[in-house]
Structure 1
Protein backbone atom coordinates (compact mmCIF):
# COMPACT_ATOMS: atom_id res chain seq x y z
CA UNK A 1 0.00 0.00 0.00
CA UNK A 2 1.24 3.45 -0.88
CA UNK A 3 1.91 5.98 1.84
CA UNK A 4 2.95 3.55 4.56
CA UNK A 5 6.73 3.79 4.19
CA UNK A 6 8.98 5.75 6.54
CA UNK A 7 12.12 5.09 4.54
CA UNK A 8 14.52 8.00 4.88
CA UNK A 9 12.85 9.28 8.05
CA UNK A 10 14.40 9.44 11.51
CA UNK A 11 12.15 8.52 14.43
CA UNK A 12 12.98 9.28 18.07
CA UNK A 13 11.05 7.25 20.65
CA UNK A 14 11.38 8.10 24.34
CA UNK A 15 10.97 5.18 26.70
CA UNK A 16 11.91 3.13 23.67
CA UNK A 17 13.18 0.17 25.69
CA UNK A 18 9.93 -0.30 27.63
CA UNK A 19 7.09 -2.68 26.79
CA UNK A 20 5.09 -0.38 24.51
CA UNK A 21 8.21 1.52 23.48
CA UNK A 22 9.96 -1.57 22.14
CA UNK A 23 6.89 -2.45 20.08
CA UNK A 24 6.69 1.08 18.69
CA UNK A 25 10.37 1.04 17.75
CA UNK A 26 9.94 -2.31 15.99
CA UNK A 27 6.95 -1.13 13.96
CA UNK A 28 8.61 2.15 12.94
CA UNK A 29 11.77 0.28 11.92
CA UNK A 30 9.61 -2.18 9.99
CA UNK A 31 8.28 0.75 7.96
CA UNK A 32 11.84 1.77 7.10
CA UNK A 33 12.56 4.49 9.67
CA UNK A 34 15.93 4.96 11.29
CA UNK A 35 14.93 4.64 14.93
CA UNK A 36 16.58 6.34 17.89
CA UNK A 37 15.77 4.33 21.02
CA UNK A 38 15.96 6.82 23.90
CA UNK A 39 15.70 5.48 27.43
CA UNK A 40 17.07 5.93 30.94
CA UNK A 41 18.09 2.25 30.89
CA UNK A 42 20.99 2.41 28.45
CA UNK A 43 21.60 -1.35 28.38
CA UNK A 44 17.97 -2.07 27.53
CA UNK A 45 18.01 0.65 24.88
CA UNK A 46 21.07 -0.92 23.29
CA UNK A 47 19.43 -4.34 23.29
CA UNK A 48 16.33 -2.92 21.64
CA UNK A 49 18.35 -1.06 19.02
CA UNK A 50 20.54 -4.10 18.29
CA UNK A 51 17.45 -6.06 17.26
CA UNK A 52 16.45 -3.47 14.66
CA UNK A 53 18.00 -2.45 11.34
CA UNK A 54 19.80 0.90 11.36
CA UNK A 55 18.71 1.78 14.92
CA UNK A 56 20.76 3.54 17.59
CA UNK A 57 20.42 3.76 21.37
CA UNK A 58 20.65 6.97 23.37
CA UNK A 59 20.51 7.35 27.13
CA UNK A 60 18.36 10.17 28.48
CA UNK A 61 17.15 11.19 31.91
CA UNK A 62 13.88 12.94 31.14
CA UNK A 63 13.73 14.41 34.64
CA UNK A 64 16.86 16.43 33.83
CA UNK A 65 16.60 19.24 31.24
CA UNK A 66 20.37 19.15 30.69
CA UNK A 67 20.11 15.48 29.69
CA UNK A 68 17.30 16.32 27.27
CA UNK A 69 19.45 19.08 25.79
CA UNK A 70 22.26 16.59 25.28
CA UNK A 71 19.93 14.08 23.61
CA UNK A 72 18.58 16.68 21.19
CA UNK A 73 22.12 17.76 20.37
CA UNK A 74 23.25 14.22 19.61
CA UNK A 75 20.20 13.43 17.49
CA UNK A 76 20.27 16.72 15.61
CA UNK A 77 16.87 16.44 14.02
CA UNK A 78 13.99 13.99 13.89
CA UNK A 79 11.09 13.63 11.47
CA UNK A 80 9.05 11.58 13.94
CA UNK A 81 8.94 12.20 17.68
CA UNK A 82 7.05 9.71 19.86
CA UNK A 83 6.75 10.71 23.51
CA UNK A 84 6.23 7.28 25.03
CA UNK A 85 8.14 7.49 28.33
CA UNK A 86 6.11 7.77 31.50
CA UNK A 87 6.16 7.01 35.19
CA UNK A 88 3.25 6.20 37.51
CA UNK A 89 2.95 6.03 41.28
CA UNK A 90 -0.31 4.41 42.42
CA UNK A 91 -1.61 5.88 45.67
CA UNK A 92 -4.81 7.51 46.95
CA UNK A 93 -4.62 11.19 46.09
CA UNK A 94 -4.98 12.45 49.67
CA UNK A 95 -2.13 10.15 50.74
CA UNK A 96 0.09 11.16 47.84
CA UNK A 97 3.64 12.33 48.26
CA UNK A 98 4.22 15.69 46.50
CA UNK A 99 7.72 14.46 45.64
CA UNK A 100 6.18 11.72 43.50
CA UNK A 101 3.85 14.29 41.91
CA UNK A 102 6.89 16.33 40.98
CA UNK A 103 8.62 13.34 39.39
CA UNK A 104 5.53 12.48 37.32
CA UNK A 105 5.18 16.08 36.19
CA UNK A 106 8.80 16.25 35.13
CA UNK A 107 8.76 13.02 33.10
CA UNK A 108 5.17 12.80 31.88
CA UNK A 109 4.56 16.42 30.91
CA UNK A 110 7.55 18.74 31.22
CA UNK A 111 9.90 16.45 29.28
CA UNK A 112 7.59 16.17 26.22
CA UNK A 113 7.18 19.95 26.23
CA UNK A 114 10.92 20.53 26.51
CA UNK A 115 12.01 17.96 23.92
CA UNK A 116 9.36 19.03 21.41
CA UNK A 117 10.46 22.65 21.77
CA UNK A 118 14.00 21.59 20.83
CA UNK A 119 13.16 19.35 17.87
CA UNK A 120 10.00 20.84 16.34
CA UNK A 121 11.86 23.67 14.53
CA UNK A 122 13.74 21.05 12.52
CA UNK A 123 10.52 19.54 11.16
CA UNK A 124 10.24 21.74 8.12
CA UNK A 125 7.76 20.55 5.52
CA UNK A 126 6.98 17.22 7.20
CA UNK A 127 6.81 15.91 10.75
CA UNK A 128 4.92 13.67 13.13
CA UNK A 129 4.37 14.19 16.85
CA UNK A 130 2.71 11.40 18.82
CA UNK A 131 2.09 11.66 22.55
CA UNK A 132 1.35 8.51 24.53
CA UNK A 133 -1.10 9.43 27.27
CA UNK A 134 -3.50 7.06 29.05
CA UNK A 135 -7.17 6.20 29.18
CA UNK A 136 -6.83 6.96 32.87
CA UNK A 137 -6.22 10.56 31.86
CA UNK A 138 -9.41 10.59 29.78
CA UNK A 139 -11.72 8.88 32.24
CA UNK A 140 -9.95 9.02 35.60
CA UNK A 141 -8.38 6.09 37.40
CA UNK A 142 -8.50 5.29 41.09
CA UNK A 143 -5.13 5.74 42.74
CA UNK A 144 -3.67 7.61 39.77
CA UNK A 145 -4.79 11.18 40.31
CA UNK A 146 -1.41 12.82 39.82
CA UNK A 147 -0.47 10.47 36.99
CA UNK A 148 -3.77 11.16 35.20
CA UNK A 149 -3.33 14.89 35.68
CA UNK A 150 0.15 14.94 34.15
CA UNK A 151 -0.88 12.70 31.27
CA UNK A 152 -4.01 14.79 30.65
CA UNK A 153 -1.77 17.80 30.14
CA UNK A 154 -0.60 16.16 26.92
CA UNK A 155 -4.07 16.65 25.41
CA UNK A 156 -3.83 20.43 25.51
CA UNK A 157 -0.21 20.41 24.39
CA UNK A 158 -0.84 18.13 21.42
CA UNK A 159 -3.89 20.07 20.21
CA UNK A 160 -2.10 23.39 20.49
CA UNK A 161 0.86 22.02 18.53
CA UNK A 162 -1.54 20.60 15.93
CA UNK A 163 -2.74 24.15 15.29
CA UNK A 164 0.62 25.89 15.50
CA UNK A 165 2.62 23.41 13.40
CA UNK A 166 0.07 22.56 10.71
CA UNK A 167 1.46 25.08 8.22
CA UNK A 168 4.86 23.36 8.35
CA UNK A 169 3.37 19.96 7.54
CA UNK A 170 3.53 18.57 11.08
CA UNK A 171 0.71 16.54 12.63
CA UNK A 172 0.25 16.11 16.36
CA UNK A 173 -1.89 13.41 17.97
CA UNK A 174 -2.40 11.60 21.27
CA UNK A 175 -2.73 7.84 21.74
CA UNK A 176 -4.30 6.60 24.96
CA UNK A 177 -3.63 2.97 25.87
CA UNK A 178 -6.09 1.25 28.13
CA UNK A 179 -4.91 -1.52 30.47
CA UNK A 180 -1.92 -3.02 28.68
CA UNK A 181 0.45 -5.88 29.49
CA UNK A 182 3.62 -3.91 30.23
CA UNK A 183 6.27 -4.07 32.97
CA UNK A 184 4.61 -1.05 34.60
CA UNK A 185 1.22 -2.82 34.60
CA UNK A 186 2.76 -6.00 36.01
CA UNK A 187 4.49 -4.08 38.79
CA UNK A 188 1.16 -2.54 39.79
CA UNK A 189 -0.59 -5.93 39.56
CA UNK A 190 1.93 -7.50 41.96
CA UNK A 191 0.53 -5.33 44.71
CA UNK A 192 -3.10 -5.87 43.67
CA UNK A 193 -3.83 -9.61 43.24
CA UNK A 194 -6.52 -10.37 40.68
CA UNK A 195 -6.30 -6.89 39.15
CA UNK A 196 -5.63 -8.08 35.60
CA UNK A 197 -8.56 -10.52 35.64
CA UNK A 198 -10.88 -7.85 37.00
CA UNK A 199 -9.79 -5.43 34.31
CA UNK A 200 -10.20 -7.99 31.54
CA UNK A 201 -13.80 -8.70 32.62
CA UNK A 202 -14.64 -5.01 32.22
CA UNK A 203 -13.26 -4.78 28.68
CA UNK A 204 -15.68 -5.61 25.85
CA UNK A 205 -12.98 -7.56 23.99
CA UNK A 206 -12.31 -9.49 27.23
CA UNK A 207 -8.55 -9.08 27.41
CA UNK A 208 -6.08 -6.40 28.36
CA UNK A 209 -4.07 -4.84 25.59
CA UNK A 210 -0.76 -5.91 24.16
CA UNK A 211 2.06 -3.51 23.29
CA UNK A 212 1.61 -4.33 19.60
CA UNK A 213 -1.99 -3.07 19.75
CA UNK A 214 -0.73 0.39 20.68
CA UNK A 215 2.29 0.32 18.39
CA UNK A 216 0.19 -0.37 15.30
CA UNK A 217 -1.81 2.83 15.71
CA UNK A 218 1.27 4.88 16.54
CA UNK A 219 3.07 3.63 13.44
CA UNK A 220 0.08 4.45 11.23
CA UNK A 221 -0.16 7.98 12.61
CA UNK A 222 3.47 8.50 11.59
CA UNK A 223 2.87 7.67 7.92
CA UNK A 224 1.66 9.73 4.99
CA UNK A 225 -1.63 7.82 5.07
CA UNK A 226 -2.40 9.61 8.33
CA UNK A 227 -1.33 13.01 7.01
CA UNK A 228 -4.86 14.44 7.37
CA UNK A 229 -5.26 13.32 10.98
CA UNK A 230 -4.12 15.90 13.54
CA UNK A 231 -5.23 17.23 16.91
CA UNK A 232 -6.91 13.93 17.77
CA UNK A 233 -7.00 11.78 20.91
CA UNK A 234 -7.41 8.09 20.13
CA UNK A 235 -7.89 5.25 22.61
CA UNK A 236 -6.53 1.71 22.24
CA UNK A 237 -8.51 0.06 24.99
CA UNK A 238 -10.54 -2.88 23.70
CA UNK A 239 -13.68 -0.77 23.96
CA UNK A 240 -13.50 0.02 27.69
CA UNK A 241 -13.44 3.70 26.74
CA UNK A 242 -15.85 4.85 24.04
CA UNK A 243 -15.80 8.60 23.54
Structure 2
Protein backbone atom coordinates (compact mmCIF):
# COMPACT_ATOMS: atom_id res chain seq x y z
CA UNK A 1 0.00 0.00 0.00
CA UNK A 2 1.23 3.52 -0.77
CA UNK A 3 3.13 5.16 2.09
CA UNK A 4 0.96 7.35 4.27
CA UNK A 5 -2.19 5.27 3.83
CA UNK A 6 -1.39 2.48 6.29
CA UNK A 7 -3.18 2.29 9.61
CA UNK A 8 -1.22 -0.63 11.03
CA UNK A 9 -1.37 -0.53 14.81
CA UNK A 10 -4.36 1.81 14.86
CA UNK A 11 -7.68 0.82 16.40
CA UNK A 12 -10.79 2.16 14.68
CA UNK A 13 -14.42 2.30 15.79
CA UNK A 14 -17.20 2.56 13.20
CA UNK A 15 -20.73 3.11 14.50
CA UNK A 16 -23.57 1.89 12.33
CA UNK A 17 -21.09 -0.62 10.96
CA UNK A 18 -23.76 -3.12 9.92
CA UNK A 19 -25.28 -0.75 7.32
CA UNK A 20 -24.32 -0.31 3.69
CA UNK A 21 -22.03 2.70 4.13
CA UNK A 22 -20.79 1.46 7.49
CA UNK A 23 -19.75 -1.91 6.10
CA UNK A 24 -17.82 -0.25 3.27
CA UNK A 25 -16.03 2.01 5.77
CA UNK A 26 -15.08 -1.00 7.89
CA UNK A 27 -13.77 -2.83 4.84
CA UNK A 28 -11.59 0.08 3.73
CA UNK A 29 -10.12 0.61 7.19
CA UNK A 30 -9.35 -3.10 7.53
CA UNK A 31 -7.66 -2.96 4.13
CA UNK A 32 -5.45 -0.16 5.47
CA UNK A 33 -4.38 -2.38 8.34
CA UNK A 34 -6.56 -1.07 11.16
CA UNK A 35 -8.11 -3.19 13.87
CA UNK A 36 -11.76 -2.26 13.36
CA UNK A 37 -14.62 -2.43 15.85
CA UNK A 38 -17.89 -2.87 13.96
CA UNK A 39 -20.42 -1.30 16.33
CA UNK A 40 -24.17 -1.46 15.77
CA UNK A 41 -27.47 -1.94 17.54
CA UNK A 42 -27.95 -4.82 15.10
CA UNK A 43 -25.53 -7.24 16.75
CA UNK A 44 -26.09 -10.02 14.20
CA UNK A 45 -25.54 -7.63 11.30
CA UNK A 46 -22.35 -6.31 12.90
CA UNK A 47 -21.06 -9.86 13.38
CA UNK A 48 -21.76 -10.64 9.73
CA UNK A 49 -19.86 -7.57 8.53
CA UNK A 50 -16.95 -8.27 10.88
CA UNK A 51 -16.75 -11.83 9.60
CA UNK A 52 -16.65 -10.66 5.99
CA UNK A 53 -14.27 -7.70 6.20
CA UNK A 54 -12.01 -9.32 8.75
CA UNK A 55 -10.76 -11.85 6.22
CA UNK A 56 -11.09 -9.92 2.96
CA UNK A 57 -10.22 -6.52 1.60
CA UNK A 58 -12.08 -4.62 -1.13
CA UNK A 59 -10.15 -4.22 -4.34
CA UNK A 60 -12.75 -3.68 -7.06
CA UNK A 61 -15.79 -1.52 -6.50
CA UNK A 62 -18.68 -1.07 -8.91
CA UNK A 63 -22.04 0.61 -8.68
CA UNK A 64 -23.56 -2.54 -7.27
CA UNK A 65 -21.35 -2.63 -4.21
CA UNK A 66 -18.06 -4.12 -3.10
CA UNK A 67 -16.33 -7.09 -4.76
CA UNK A 68 -14.03 -8.93 -2.39
CA UNK A 69 -10.46 -9.96 -3.16
CA UNK A 70 -9.06 -13.37 -2.29
CA UNK A 71 -6.05 -12.14 -0.31
CA UNK A 72 -6.43 -11.14 3.36
CA UNK A 73 -4.93 -7.84 4.50
CA UNK A 74 -3.29 -7.05 7.83
CA UNK A 75 -6.32 -5.51 9.54
CA UNK A 76 -8.85 -7.27 11.72
CA UNK A 77 -12.49 -6.74 12.61
CA UNK A 78 -14.62 -7.53 15.65
CA UNK A 79 -18.29 -6.84 16.29
CA UNK A 80 -19.77 -5.14 19.34
CA UNK A 81 -23.33 -4.16 20.14
CA UNK A 82 -23.94 -0.46 20.79
CA UNK A 83 -27.17 1.42 21.49
CA UNK A 84 -26.48 5.10 20.86
CA UNK A 85 -29.86 6.10 22.31
CA UNK A 86 -28.81 4.80 25.74
CA UNK A 87 -26.07 6.63 27.69
CA UNK A 88 -25.57 3.59 29.94
CA UNK A 89 -24.92 1.41 26.89
CA UNK A 90 -22.42 3.97 25.55
CA UNK A 91 -20.54 4.20 28.84
CA UNK A 92 -20.37 0.41 29.20
CA UNK A 93 -19.24 0.09 25.58
CA UNK A 94 -16.40 2.58 26.06
CA UNK A 95 -15.17 0.84 29.20
CA UNK A 96 -15.13 -2.43 27.29
CA UNK A 97 -13.36 -1.33 24.08
CA UNK A 98 -10.44 0.47 25.72
CA UNK A 99 -7.99 2.19 23.36
CA UNK A 100 -9.47 3.70 20.20
CA UNK A 101 -7.47 5.89 17.79
CA UNK A 102 -10.14 6.51 15.13
CA UNK A 103 -13.85 7.10 15.59
CA UNK A 104 -16.14 7.20 12.57
CA UNK A 105 -19.57 8.39 13.67
CA UNK A 106 -21.60 6.78 10.90
CA UNK A 107 -24.75 5.63 12.71
CA UNK A 108 -27.95 7.58 12.27
CA UNK A 109 -31.71 7.27 12.28
CA UNK A 110 -34.21 9.20 10.18
CA UNK A 111 -37.98 9.48 10.32
CA UNK A 112 -39.37 11.11 7.17
CA UNK A 113 -42.42 13.26 7.86
CA UNK A 114 -43.54 16.80 7.14
CA UNK A 115 -42.43 18.97 10.04
CA UNK A 116 -45.88 20.34 10.93
CA UNK A 117 -47.17 16.78 11.27
CA UNK A 118 -44.04 15.35 12.90
CA UNK A 119 -44.04 13.56 16.23
CA UNK A 120 -41.79 15.08 18.94
CA UNK A 121 -41.07 11.54 20.12
CA UNK A 122 -39.32 11.02 16.79
CA UNK A 123 -37.35 14.22 17.38
CA UNK A 124 -36.11 12.77 20.67
CA UNK A 125 -34.97 9.53 19.05
CA UNK A 126 -33.09 11.34 16.29
CA UNK A 127 -31.49 13.74 18.76
CA UNK A 128 -30.38 10.85 20.96
CA UNK A 129 -28.86 8.75 18.17
CA UNK A 130 -27.66 11.39 15.70
CA UNK A 131 -26.20 14.00 18.04
CA UNK A 132 -26.19 13.18 21.75
CA UNK A 133 -24.76 9.70 21.13
CA UNK A 134 -21.78 10.96 19.09
CA UNK A 135 -21.18 13.72 21.65
CA UNK A 136 -21.05 11.30 24.57
CA UNK A 137 -19.03 8.70 22.68
CA UNK A 138 -16.47 11.34 21.70
CA UNK A 139 -16.29 12.75 25.22
CA UNK A 140 -15.43 9.32 26.61
CA UNK A 141 -12.90 8.28 23.93
CA UNK A 142 -11.22 11.59 23.15
CA UNK A 143 -9.10 11.82 26.35
CA UNK A 144 -7.18 8.71 25.31
CA UNK A 145 -6.43 10.20 21.89
CA UNK A 146 -5.22 13.41 23.52
CA UNK A 147 -2.96 11.43 25.86
CA UNK A 148 -1.47 9.45 22.96
CA UNK A 149 -1.09 12.53 20.74
CA UNK A 150 -2.90 11.13 17.69
CA UNK A 151 -6.46 10.63 16.59
CA UNK A 152 -9.06 10.89 13.85
CA UNK A 153 -12.69 11.92 14.27
CA UNK A 154 -14.96 11.58 11.23
CA UNK A 155 -18.62 12.51 11.49
CA UNK A 156 -21.01 11.25 8.80
CA UNK A 157 -23.77 13.85 8.48
CA UNK A 158 -25.93 14.37 5.39
CA UNK A 159 -26.26 16.66 2.41
CA UNK A 160 -29.86 17.01 3.56
CA UNK A 161 -28.53 18.64 6.72
CA UNK A 162 -26.25 20.90 4.70
CA UNK A 163 -28.78 22.04 2.11
CA UNK A 164 -32.15 21.14 3.62
CA UNK A 165 -34.43 18.27 2.71
CA UNK A 166 -38.22 18.20 2.60
CA UNK A 167 -39.66 15.81 5.14
CA UNK A 168 -36.42 15.63 7.11
CA UNK A 169 -36.47 18.82 9.17
CA UNK A 170 -35.82 17.18 12.53
CA UNK A 171 -33.27 14.77 11.03
CA UNK A 172 -31.43 17.65 9.34
CA UNK A 173 -31.45 19.61 12.58
CA UNK A 174 -29.81 16.80 14.53
CA UNK A 175 -27.26 15.97 11.83
CA UNK A 176 -26.35 19.63 11.30
CA UNK A 177 -25.40 19.76 14.97
CA UNK A 178 -22.42 17.60 14.02
CA UNK A 179 -21.01 20.49 11.97
CA UNK A 180 -20.57 22.74 15.00
CA UNK A 181 -19.33 19.87 17.16
CA UNK A 182 -16.72 18.72 14.66
CA UNK A 183 -15.38 22.21 13.98
CA UNK A 184 -15.18 23.11 17.64
CA UNK A 185 -13.35 19.88 18.40
CA UNK A 186 -11.00 20.53 15.48
CA UNK A 187 -9.91 23.76 17.17
CA UNK A 188 -9.68 22.27 20.66
CA UNK A 189 -7.62 19.17 19.88
CA UNK A 190 -5.45 20.17 16.92
CA UNK A 191 -2.46 20.66 19.23
CA UNK A 192 -2.77 16.99 20.20
CA UNK A 193 -2.41 15.72 16.64
CA UNK A 194 -6.12 14.96 16.28
CA UNK A 195 -8.20 15.91 13.25
CA UNK A 196 -11.98 16.28 13.13
CA UNK A 197 -13.97 16.42 9.89
CA UNK A 198 -17.50 15.94 8.56
CA UNK A 199 -18.61 14.02 5.47
CA UNK A 200 -22.04 14.68 3.97
CA UNK A 201 -23.25 11.87 1.69
CA UNK A 202 -25.78 12.75 -0.97
CA UNK A 203 -28.18 10.21 -2.51
CA UNK A 204 -26.47 6.86 -1.97
CA UNK A 205 -27.48 3.42 -3.19
CA UNK A 206 -28.00 1.53 0.06
CA UNK A 207 -30.49 -1.14 1.15
CA UNK A 208 -32.36 1.57 3.04
CA UNK A 209 -32.84 3.64 -0.13
CA UNK A 210 -33.93 0.57 -2.07
CA UNK A 211 -36.58 -0.16 0.56
CA UNK A 212 -37.88 3.37 0.14
CA UNK A 213 -37.87 2.89 -3.66
CA UNK A 214 -39.90 -0.31 -3.30
CA UNK A 215 -42.59 1.74 -1.59
CA UNK A 216 -42.27 4.54 -4.16
CA UNK A 217 -41.49 2.91 -7.55
CA UNK A 218 -39.36 5.07 -9.81
CA UNK A 219 -38.06 7.26 -6.99
CA UNK A 220 -34.42 6.16 -7.34
CA UNK A 221 -34.40 6.78 -11.09
CA UNK A 222 -35.91 10.22 -10.54
CA UNK A 223 -33.27 11.06 -7.94
CA UNK A 224 -30.45 9.84 -10.20
CA UNK A 225 -31.62 12.02 -13.09
CA UNK A 226 -31.27 15.10 -10.88
CA UNK A 227 -27.63 14.38 -9.99
CA UNK A 228 -25.03 16.11 -12.22
CA UNK A 229 -22.99 12.88 -12.46
CA UNK A 230 -26.22 11.04 -13.38
CA UNK A 231 -25.91 8.23 -10.87
CA UNK A 232 -26.47 7.48 -7.23
CA UNK A 233 -23.48 7.35 -4.96
CA UNK A 234 -22.22 3.99 -3.73
CA UNK A 235 -21.10 3.17 -0.19
CA UNK A 236 -17.52 2.99 -1.47
CA UNK A 237 -17.72 6.60 -2.70
CA UNK A 238 -18.16 7.60 0.93
CA UNK A 239 -15.81 5.06 2.47
CA UNK A 240 -12.95 6.09 0.21
CA UNK A 241 -13.05 9.61 1.60
CA UNK A 242 -13.28 8.29 5.16
CA UNK A 243 -10.21 6.12 4.53
CA UNK A 244 -8.29 9.13 3.25
CA UNK A 245 -9.24 11.37 6.17
CA UNK A 246 -8.12 8.68 8.61
CA UNK A 247 -4.72 8.32 6.97
CA UNK A 248 -1.51 10.29 7.46
CA UNK A 249 -2.02 11.71 3.97
CA UNK A 250 -4.83 13.85 5.43
CA UNK A 251 -3.00 15.00 8.57
CA UNK A 252 -3.27 18.66 7.51
CA UNK A 253 -7.03 18.56 6.94
CA UNK A 254 -9.27 19.38 9.89
CA UNK A 255 -12.47 21.28 10.62
CA UNK A 256 -13.81 20.64 7.12
CA UNK A 257 -17.26 19.66 5.84
CA UNK A 258 -17.07 17.67 2.60
CA UNK A 259 -19.97 16.55 0.42
CA UNK A 260 -20.01 13.27 -1.51
CA UNK A 261 -23.04 13.95 -3.67
CA UNK A 262 -22.16 13.67 -7.35
CA UNK A 263 -22.38 17.45 -7.64
CA UNK A 264 -25.79 17.95 -6.06
CA UNK A 265 -24.17 20.24 -3.48
CA UNK A 266 -21.37 22.46 -4.70
CA UNK A 267 -19.46 24.76 -2.35
TM-score range, shorter chain: over 0.9
Following TM superposition, where does structure 1 have runs of at least 4 consecutive aligned residues deviating by more than 2 angstroms?
186-193
CA distance in 2, matches of 1:213, 1:135: 14
Could you state the TM-score of these two structures normalised by the residue count of structure 1?
A: 0.98
Q: How many residues align?
A: 243
In 1, the alpha carbon distance for the partners of 2:211 and 2:156 equals: 19
1:103 matched to 2:103? The reply is no
Aligned: 1:52 with 2:53? yes
- The whole-number CA distance in structure 1 between the counterparts of 2:211 and 2:118 is 18
The DSSP-based 3-state class of the residue aligned with 1:235 is strand
Q: CA deviation at 1:184?
A: 2.3
The 3-state SS of whatever aligns with 1:55 is strand
Contact 1:78 1:119 in 2 (8 A): yes
Once residues 141 and 219 of structure 2 are traced to their aligned partners in structure 1, the CA distance between those partners, rounded to angstroms, is 39
* 1:175 counterpart residue number: 199
Give 2:151's aligned residue.
Answer: 127
Match of 1:147 among 166, 171, 180: 171
Corresponding residue for 2:262? Answer: 238
Q: Which runs of 5+ in 1 are unaligned?
A: none
The alpha carbon displacement at 1:188 in A equals: 2.7
Q: Secondary structure at the match of 1:165?
A: helix
Q: Deviations over 1:176-229 (max 9, x none)?
A: 000001122223323333211111111011011100000000010000000000
Deviation at 1:30, TM superposition (A): 0.2
Give the distance between the partners of 1:135 and 1:238, measured in 2 at CA.
Answer: 11
- Give me the TM-score of the superposition, normalised by structure 2: 0.89
- Computed over aligned residues only, the root mean square deviation of the Cα atoms, in angstroms, reads 0.8
Offset of 1:140 from its aligned partner? Answer: 0.3
The unaligned stretches of length 5 or more in structure 2 are 55-75
* 2:69 matched residue in structure 1: none
Say whether 1:112 aligns with 2:134: yes
